[in-house]
């Protein structure tokens, strides 16, 4: 059934792209704004850096678990209800991070913040509710292009806030922005899902259908390993910047923005050309760009020519490649079973973020005290190669089934 035209701040019509962008952007910002503060937070709580680095891996792991539930729940009870409840819980968890007395309490509330993952999952599902596969890839590209502006400036702002006011200022900002996004979603996010009469348990029984689909696994693998490069980077780059290159938190934050600039450019390309080239070709173009860029970084590092500008600068190609690949990979995940877009988005997101959590934790493990940046570079390169192999498998399977994508 066609949806009515979106009218801004009308709860009876679909949301505007601005609302979806800010909703997804809050989730992205929550993940990365505090990264330049990790060394300082370790000192504040008198805890090892590796323990505080778990605030990335554990957050991603719980995000993966929640996304398995968020999708089916939103198919059953509606996108709007799930978004608003998730945002309310996020605000409570953020208050908890600000009042934590020790590292353990902080990590507990930090994990609870993962409920904001509903923003990314359901912004994609809302898009798929409204438009077709190719159009979904294009619209997701534009949504994530705008969303990339948020994490692009996030670490920069986070680094400056850390130096001026301390790490708590990052979470104070998240609290204020969370209130604003919650109010906007309440006013503008109309329901787009055709509610399922099946219970959540019955909907989750559709998982075997998705899990038996080679195309679903291929798209998930391509998305998981492509984004896995970035998650490994999130887990290891603060260490590289601080311990290997001896940069301040504000400098690390500024250099983090390089990747997001590339991601925004890739999203623009995806939004403009996804309909013309098709999902599969766009994913392959993106993963190839990332793989070639990281291979160049590995070679430069092996030759002893790397430095902070080269290391962070070449992550531009990773951002560009992911920006091109991920919108189409996510649209591909949803295309396998369009009638269960929320369920597919949640399960696919769980696989993608769960893999990211593992790679973020692995990044911390391969960077012991005194390590160079090389183990992180090789980990990122291996993840990108696997993403390329996954989309090649999807293309081969699509040809065998006679599916054009």
Residue 321's Cβ-side half-sphere holds a number of Cα atoms within 13 Å equal to 31
142-159 per-position pLDDT tens digit: 666 655 566 567 777 888
Residue 2, classified by CB atoms within 10 Å of its CB into exposed (0-12), middle (13-18) or buried (19+), is: exposed
Which stretch of DSSP H or E encloses residue 271? helix 249-277
Ramachandran quadrant class, 112 (left: phi over 0; alpha: psi -120 to 50; beta: rest): alpha
More confident residue, 256 or 262: 262
Task: Decide if pLDDT at 385 tops 70.
Answer: yes
In a domain, 247, yes or no: yes
Rounded to whole angstroms, the Cα distance separating 181 from 176 reads 9
The pLDDT of residue 27 is above 80: yes
Q: Write out the two tokens for 230.
A: 């970035």
Q: Which residue has the tokens 């399922």?
A: 196
Q: What is the CATH number of the domain that holds 111?
A: 1.20.1250.20
Q: What is the pLDDT of residue 1?
A: 45
10 falls within a domain: no
Q: How far apart are CA 52 and CA 34, in angstroms?
A: 11
Tell me the pLDDT band of 179, cut-offs 50, 70 and 90: very high
Instruction: Report the alpha-carbon distance of residue 117 to residue 281 in Å, rounded.
Output: 28
Ranges of H-type helices in 38-167: 38-44, 49-77, 79-99, 103-112, 118-130, 133-165
Local confidence band at 291 (pLDDT 50, 70, 90 cut-offs): very high
Residue 160 placed within a domain? yes
CA–CA gap between residue 363 and residue 236 (Å, rounded):
5
Per-residue pLDDT, 389: 96
pLDDT value of residue 123: 82
* Cα–Cα dist 264/86, whole Å: 26
Span 209-220, mean pLDDT?
84
Most confident range (mean pLDDT) of 61-75, 215-229, 271-285 is: 215-229
DSSP assignment of 111-136, as one string? HHGGGGGHHHHHHHHHHHHHS-HHHH
Q: What is the pLDDT of residue 231?
A: 82
- Give mean pLDDT, residues 214-225: 90
pLDDT of residue 120: 80
* More reliable by pLDDT, 90 or 190: 90
Structural domain that includes position 81: 17-193+201-401
Report d(CA 49, CA 111) in Å as an integer: 17
- Record the pTM: 0.71
Domain count, the chain: 1
Choose the most confident range, by mean pLDDT, from 191-205, 288-302, 342-356, 389-403: 288-302
12 in any annotated domain: no
Residues whose CB is less than 8 angstroms from the CB of residue 185 and which lie 6 or more positions away in sequence, other chains included: 15, 19, 23, 80, 83, 84, 87
- Distance separating alpha carbons of residues 202 and 252, to the nearest angstrom: 47
103: closest CA among 32, 34, 172, 52?
Answer: 52
137 pLDDT above the threshold of 70: no
Q: Is the pLDDT of residue 122 over 70?
A: yes
Indicate whether 257 pLDDT > 60.
yes
For residue 35, the Cα-to-chain-centroid distance in whole angstroms is 15
Has residue 118 been placed in a domain? yes
Higher pLDDT, 390 or 250: 390
Buried b / exposed e over 30-54, threshold 16 CB at 10 Å, is bbbbbbbbbbbbbeebebebeebbb
Residue 6 or 106, more confident = 106
3 in a structural domain:
no
Q: Which of 41-45, 126-130, 271-275, 335-339 has the highest mean pLDDT?
A: 41-45
Q: Give just the sign of the alpha carbon dihedral 224, 225, 231, 235.
A: positive
Residue 95 token pair: 């208050």
Q: What is the pLDDT of residue 4?
A: 60
Find, among 360, 354, 355, 335, the residue nearest to 345 by Cα: 335
54 assigned to some structural domain: yes
Look at residue 6 and tell me if it is in a domain: no
- For residue 258, the model assigns a pLDDT of 84
* Residue-level length of the chain: 405
């Amino acid at each position: 059934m066609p949806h009515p035209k979106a009218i801004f701040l009308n709860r009876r019509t679909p949301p505007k792209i601005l609302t979806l962008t800010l909703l997804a952007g809050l989730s992205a910002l929550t993940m990365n704004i505090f990264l330049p503060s990790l060394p300082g937070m370790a000192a504040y709580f008198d805890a090892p850096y590796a323990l505080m680095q778990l605030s990335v891996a554990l957050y991603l792991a719980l995000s993966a678990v929640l996304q398995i539930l968020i999708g089916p729940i939103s198919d059953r009870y509606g996108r709007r209800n799930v978004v608003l409840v998730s945002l309310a819980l996020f605000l409570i968890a953020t208050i908890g991070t600000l009042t934590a007395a020790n590292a353990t309490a902080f990590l507990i509330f930090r994990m609870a913040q993962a409920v904001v993952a509903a923003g990314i999952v359901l912004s994609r599902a809302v898009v798929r509710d409204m438009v077709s596969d190719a159009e979904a890839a294009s619209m997701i590209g534009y949504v994530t292009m705008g969303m990339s502006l948020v994490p692009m400036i996030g670490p920069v702002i986070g680094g400056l806030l850390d130096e001026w006011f301390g790490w708590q200022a990052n979470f104070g900002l998240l609290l204020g922005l969370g209130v604003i996004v919650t109010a906007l979603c309440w006013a503008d996010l109309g329901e787009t899902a055709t509610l399922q009469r099946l219970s959540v348990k019955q909907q989750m029984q559709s998982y075997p259908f998705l899990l038996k689909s080679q195309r679903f696994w291929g798209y998930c693998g391509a998305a998981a390993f492509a984004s896995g490069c970035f998650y490994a980077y999130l887990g290891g780059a603060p260490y590289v910047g601080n311990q290997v290159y001896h940069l301040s938190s504000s400098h690390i934050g500024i250099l983090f923005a390089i990747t997001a600039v590339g991601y925004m450019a890739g999203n623009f390309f995806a939004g403009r050309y996804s309909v013309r080239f098709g999902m599969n070709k766009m994913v392959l173009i993106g993963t190839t760009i990332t793989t070639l860029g990281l291979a160049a970084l590995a070679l430069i590092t092996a030759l002893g020519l790397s430095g902070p500008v080269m290391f962070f600068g070449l992550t531009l190609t990773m951002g560009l490649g992911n920006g091109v690949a991920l919108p189409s990979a996510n649209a591909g995940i949803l295309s396998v079973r369009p009638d269960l877009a929320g369920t597919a988005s949640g399960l696919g997101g769980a696989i993608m973020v769960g893999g990211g959590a593992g790679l973020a934790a692995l990044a911390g493990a391969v960077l012991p005290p005194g390590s160079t940046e090389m183990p992180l570079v090789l980990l990122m390169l291996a993840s990108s190669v696997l993403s390329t192999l996954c989309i090649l498998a999807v293309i081969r399977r699509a040809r065998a089934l006679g599916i054009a994508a």
